[in-house]
Amino acid sequence: MVQEVRQTTFRHGLAFYGTLAFLAGFLGARLFATLNPKVVVVQNGIHFHHFWYGLIMVIAAGWIGIALSNVWLGRNLAIVFGFGAGLIGDEVGLLLTFGDYTSNLTEIFFVAAIAFIILATLLSKGREHIEKDVINVSWKERGTQVGIFLAAFSAIFFASGNWQIGFLFIGLGILVFTWGFERKRGPTSFRSLA
């Protein structure tokens, strides 16, 4: 029995098309819904939100992309898939709250999606640098980084008036930073500087 195995490679062009279409779909749906809050599609008493159209686009583009292999088709399917994902993304708040279209979960989702796209791009392009600068650091240095993060994170609690939790986080951050801090040993005499 002969089996055909397709080699999978990451195609940056398709990711670019999909990401650009995601942004266009998300921002376009957000702009349309903001400018036309009264426009709705109702069929037989059922309100069709645009995430249904997005879901249909994502499923159709994904299924066709799995079934057929064509470079031209792949680029166009990436656009349809990304646009559909943008329509779904615009209504994430509605989906997660079961009806509150004005929920800020949509904005949180958008920021998280963009952050993921940026991190994925950095990982795909600069893996060697990230391994050197992020992964291959000592546990002590990692401790200083965690300590700084915890101390900075305390600002959220101070800003919201939760002083006890804020002091807990800043104290923990200072402790972890101090544990991880390694002072660089310099020259012991002025003669060694010459």
What tokens appear for 118 in the block?
A: 């940026």
Who contacts 175 (Cβ-Cβ below 8 Å, separation ≥6)? 147
Angle of helix 139-159 relative to helix 163-180, nearest 10 degrees, comes to 170
Burial class (CB in 10 A: 0-12, 13-18, 19+), 124: exposed
Task: Tell me the C-alpha distance between 185 and 194, whole Å.
Answer: 17
DSSP string of 59-74, one letter each residue = HHHHHHHHH---HHHH
Task: Tell me the C-alpha distance between 180 and 129, whole Å.
Answer: 22
Torsion angle of the four alpha carbons 134, 137, 141, 144, in this order, in degrees rounded to the nearest 10: 20
Q: pLDDT (tens digit, 0 to 9) for every residue of the chain, 194 residues total?
A: 455 545 555 566 777 788 888 888 888 888 887 777 777 776 777 666 777 888 999 999 999 988 888 887 888 898 899 889 988 888 777 777 766 666 677 777 778 888 788 778 777 777 777 777 667 778 888 888 888 888 888 887 887 778 898 899 889 989 988 887 766 555 555 555 55
pTM of the model: 0.58
Task: Tell me the C-alpha distance between 149 and 8, whole Å.
Answer: 38
